[in-house]
Structure 1
């Protein structure tokens, strides 16, 4: 009996020690869940946190990865849902986005094979329908018919927020015109991610996106951007980087600062910073991989100090000594400076009025 009690106490003590040790490890560090390594787009690990802030030890194979309460269709109203999806790292998708994708009647996808990997990982079995720039006009009426029938339609792009330099803009317009609800589901966006970390001005910016294919139209657009005082943001394919840098340096000047963001949220994320001239040299020998987000600083406004009264007086004196009438001298000085004609005329009368009266009297 004594031996049995001793063994029982020893087992209980060992169990408590084991549980205490496990709780301590959970408190000190998040327990990570490995993603499948079949695709380089998947992050290496994902941390699930409970409401209390402790990491969960449930493996990815033992859960649908969407909390049960979020997996249900919580009375989603019919309409077009614009769902933001990760631009690289799968941890950047929201629970709300996953719930909408799981609850939708159909998901419109730019590339069904690409999007299928995301849905497969999160065990979302909603049907996919191909919707891209080459079939956009043909598919619009098909999608509108389903929306009129009260279905929930989710639209996703290959990466980021739909309708932002991606298919869906015209569909969203049609839905708005027909009073069909268009609901944004916020998520990742390359231009905002790049802008926030660029180090350039963020209070005002111009999103240009992809430039025209025609060289004349492209250069004209770059000239417009070069004259703006706000940060300019472009989407550039990697094989067109050299062309873009050469043309933009010609329009903006090779001393204008720029930021080149690539592989954002991925393993090889990079923010290159320098002038357009330096960028041309840096990327002349190699072509980076992946879509590029390029930001160029706005034109610096140079403040022109208004001329002093002495400067205005000297200019008026020179013109009058050359035989110019008072009115013509005032006009010439006012046109050549930022000072109003009224101000210059008042100064001219004060400084040269009596002299002109004397000259007129002698004549």
Structure 2
């Protein structure tokens, strides 16, 4: 049975996931304020950041620091509090907790122990950026890029084959490191770089990827970037004809895959990738 106990204000006992403003402190719902006021504890990443929001709305609920470096250590204590029928709210510094922020460890433990988890809708840098992008609204959210160059290459190569808009979070310290990889894997696409969303100095920078340049000065504030969907050349045939396949089979032992790919592509409107993959299949069958 799911825990359905209520407190005196009619709130279910359990863990509340409350999105907080991503910039402008006015972007918070009445319901979120009410639950924060009536919580027994609020879990937050950085108490100094959260206190600015809570002070604005005169919320005096007790804070528990809960970030990626101590969330495992905190787990037993928080679960005990929840099992004692406390109402606990979890917030991040900005946006929804658990989305590229701490939260998943506690959420999964609550699921195991059949503790109520109540998510609230609210501010999101992801949907805000996609809504203003003008790109395809079928999108994939990735989050932050990996740290290691090898992993960045691996992930972007994989993502570049997908025909969706792609959303990433980037710290201002890493944007110049990431730009060359974006130019390598997402040529002929468009990019939107959102800076300081909903704040006074918010900025939305739009480029064709090939014209994207390194920032001369490190931009301020976390960045949300959206890369447009993959543009498919409708003049290209995506499949090889039976005649092409027969010709490739004749050449496969005489020429390199690169030579065959260039030769077939020269006289046909077929993507090089399609030709290359067919050649590779033939090689692997031997």
Match of 2:212 in 1: 279
SS of the aligned residue for 2:215 comes to coil
RMSD of aligned residue pairs (Cα, Å)? 2.5
Match of 2:21 in 1: 86
Q: Which has the larger radius of gyration?
A: 1
Match of 1:291 in 2: 222
1:73 deviation in Å?
A: 5.6
**Is the 2:142–2:167 Cα contact (8 Å) retained in structure 1?**
yes
1:268 deviation in Å?
A: 0.7
SS of the aligned residue for 2:76 comes to helix
Distance 1:160 1:213 in 2: 22
TM, length-normalised to structure 2 = 0.79
1:152-191 Cα distance to aligned partner (Å, 9 max, x none): 0100000111111011012111111211111011110111
**Is the 1:73–1:99 Cα contact (8 Å) retained in structure 2?**
no
**Is the 1:260–1:294 Cα contact (8 Å) retained in structure 2?**
yes
Match of 1:31 in 2: none
TM, length-normalised to structure 1 = 0.63
**Is the 1:245–1:276 Cα contact (8 Å) retained in structure 2?**
no
Distance 2:53 2:163 in 1: 40
**2:75 aligned to 127, 140, 143, which one?**
140
Match of 1:117 in 2: 52
SS of the aligned residue for 2:212 comes to helix
Matches for 1:54-203 after TM superposition, within 5 Å: 74-202=9-137
Match of 1:20 in 2: none
Distance 1:122 1:284 in 2: 37
SS of the aligned residue for 2:173 comes to helix
1:23-47 Cα distance to aligned partner (Å, 9 max, x none): xxxxxxxxxxxxxxxxxxxxxxxxx
**Is the 2:79–2:110 Cα contact (8 Å) retained in structure 1?**
yes
**Is the 1:81–1:154 Cα contact (8 Å) retained in structure 2?**
yes
Structure 2 residue 264 is the aligned partner of structure 1 residue 264 = no
Tell which has more relative contact order, 1 or 2 (C-alpha 8 A, sep 6+): 2
1:21-76 Cα distance to aligned partner (Å, 9 max, x none): xxxxxxxxxxxxxxxxxxxxxxxxxxxxxxxxxxxxxxxxxxxxxxxxxxx96311
Match of 1:248 in 2: 182
1:305 deviation in Å?
A: 4.7
SS of the aligned residue for 1:223 comes to helix
Greater percentage in helix: 1
* Gap regions ≥5 residues in structure 2: 1-6, 248-263, 269-286
**Is the 2:43–2:63 Cα contact (8 Å) retained in structure 1?**
yes
1:306 deviation in Å?
A: 8.7
Residues matched between the structures, number? 242
**Is the 1:73–1:103 Cα contact (8 Å) retained in structure 2?**
no
**Is the 2:192–2:205 Cα contact (8 Å) retained in structure 1?**
yes
**Is the 2:24–2:199 Cα contact (8 Å) retained in structure 1?**
yes
1:279 deviation in Å?
A: 2.1
